[in-house]
Structure 1
Amino acid sequence: MVGYTQRLEKLGFPLGQELATDFILASLPPSYGNFISNYLMHGAEKGLTELCGMLKIAESDIKKSTSGGHVMTVQNKPAFKKKGSSWKKKGKAKVANPKPNLAPKAKPGPAADNECFHCHEKGHWKRNCKLYLASLKNRSSTSGNDKE
């Protein structure tokens, strides 16, 4: 890109430092996002040759950080063995579950001194209040009759 901007200057169409820098930064792939934001915040007055050097350093840093992070995935195909005319899948013997099934933990209910926000009685919550649930049921049944 720097070569293209220099060639345009020789042809009589100079882009200017800022526009050339913007073109270069806009042409970078998304993996350079951190570099672009860092450059715009700290190094906006640097020249194109300094930008080119910084990009080379950033490229090597990006390659180093991604080379250790790649995990190669391998698709395992099931192995088949032929017995007579039928194909059977080779398999491993079933292993007993190493962790026994644990019973689900019971969720704690309201404490005896908690007060219901609907009926103001102690020992239950509003979502479990019989009066509140009955009023909801009545409201839904009356609203259903209004539609008819």
Structure 2
Amino acid sequence: MLACMEPDLQLQFDNNHVARDMILALNDMFQTQARTERFNVSKGFVETKLAKGTTVGPHVIKMVGYTQSLEKLGFPIGPELATDFIIMSLPPSYGNFVMNYHMHGAEKGLNELCGMLKIAEADIKKGAGSSHVMAVQNKPKFKKKGNSWKKKKGKAKDEISKPNPPAPKAGPPADAKCFHCHGKGH
């Protein structure tokens, strides 16, 4: 253990060769530093939100980095909780993705989630560009074509549009054998 330490620490433990005592002393020295680092990583992980207009790939990679940092600090959060935090960090424009993800019970790893979010991002961007076009295309047309009460020329008074006769029902031919009584014609 002494060989792995920095020279300043080696001098402090030069007299003490009991490994257990050295470990306890090192824990006492560095415990507050590790606690502060864990707090800062956890805070960054929970407070990170995807800003509107930014790409989702680097955001998810950053979030995965936070999970790895917490794991190195001895506090793994697990893939399900990490997935929940990543999904919670998305803006409202990903609402349909989140709903579909939960409805289909997708149990994906963080890398698969990143890929799915990139596809959803492309769909959102594609949908956002075409929504204005659809609004223009679906605009109702109100054109006034003179007096609508006038009779149209060329049609007879008695001519009324008749509905088409009903199509014959599909079924067995008339000379087919009955399944129940084995008779024909009914």
Which structure's residues are more often helix, by fraction?
2
Which structure's residues are more often strand, by fraction?
1
TM-score tier, shorter chain, comes to: 0.3 to 0.5
Q: TM-score, normalised by structure 2?
A: 0.37
Q: Which protein has greater RCO, CA pairs closer than 8 Å, 6+ apart? A: 2
Q: TM-score, normalised by structure 1?
A: 0.46
